[in-house]
Amino acid sequence: MGCEVWRDATSTYNPLASRCGCCSTEKCPSLSYEGAWIGGSSARSFLPGYVGFPIAPSEKSFSLRRVEIVTLSAPQREAFLSLLDDRSPVVRRALLAQFERLGPAAAPFLEAVARGSNRVLARHAAWFIDELKFSDPVAEFRGFIRSMNYELETGSMLLARTVTPSLNVTECCTELEVIARRCRELIVEPSSAREKCRVLNRVMFHEWGFHGNVEHYTDPRNSFIDEVLARRTGIPISLSIVYLLVAERIGLQLEPVGLPGHFIVGCLTDDLPFFIDPFDRGVFRDAEEIFDLLRANNITPRPNDLAPTPVREVLCRSCRNLVNHYTAAGETERAKLFAHFVEEFEATYERHASS
């Protein structure tokens, strides 16, 4: 009983698609949790002032649109080892710059040297580790959970960094700003919230091509903001997060709304509140239409189903999805990691509620 796609009696696609994708626990008891290296004969060929060596690609280098992940090649490791104990300030600064550029990819190499039998190299590796202050994304996200200082954009980035430590937050924010800038170009003031949402729909779903990933719904990548921005596809909750973050940039006050079995965005500032379904390319619905969809899926609507969902629960719900999706993919360690995050959210909330 992992991932089901709800369909109505006529077997047409139902926008309340994601039983495991965005279920509330009570409605789905079967789910427990909702740069280039400059090579050559000299190891110093990558340093400033050394010229005449061709630029060769790393052994492994691939990108997720704007986020580059680099793995050190054997020649790179050998070159770094030959320079690690060089006391020249110029060399040390250049090495430090290279390690900073490589980011988390350099951490395993330096840590291995620091634990190695060559005590001289170990001492120098430890110095670089201390200077670089490599972060632990898992610990950072746990710290965010315990802080109770929840903010959707920060939380979404920290969540994604737990599996992609090299994620470039600036690039993700730039992509969101580019979408927002295009919306601002098209908005003619004065405009109502509904008119602004129509513009956002045009830009996000037609010009940028964001869409619900119906074919590969349980792919864990659907839950991470960097992947959603790069691939322009996701599940209801992740597409809603992108919609909300762009809306915020254009001064549009919207709210996350976690329905039983689905996730949407609400505009509650108008005289007549309306709702947007980013998984269904931004279709507008009113409250009664939402309730009709719930009834069609044998869910008895309640007035508080349409209430704004706290950021804490949005992020916790994303973690529940990832528990299920990583379990379905056979990645048990990743599933356990996100199960721990769910437990951390719940324990932190309980401690705060009882204090």
pLDDT at 136: 80
pLDDT of amino acid 190: 94
Per-10-residue mean pLDDT, the chain, length 355:
32 35 34 28 35 30 34 83 89 87 78 84 85 79 93 96 89 96 97 96 98 98 98 98 98 97 93 94 97 94 95 98 97 96 96 85
Strand partners, 262: 259
DSSP per residue, 269-311: SSSS-EEEEGGGTTEEE-HHHHHHHHHHTT----GGGGSPPPH
CB-based burial label for 128 (10 Å; 0-12, 13-18, 19+): buried
What pLDDT is attached to residue 26? 35
Six token digits for residue 210: 């964001």
* Predicted pLDDT of residue 284: 98
Domain extents in the chain = 5-33+138-354, 37-132
pLDDT value of residue 37: 24
* pLDDT value of residue 71: 63
Confidence at residue 127, expressed as pLDDT on a 0 to 100 scale: 85
Residue 88 C-alpha from the chain's centroid: 40
Contact yes or no for 244/254 (Cβ under 8 A): yes
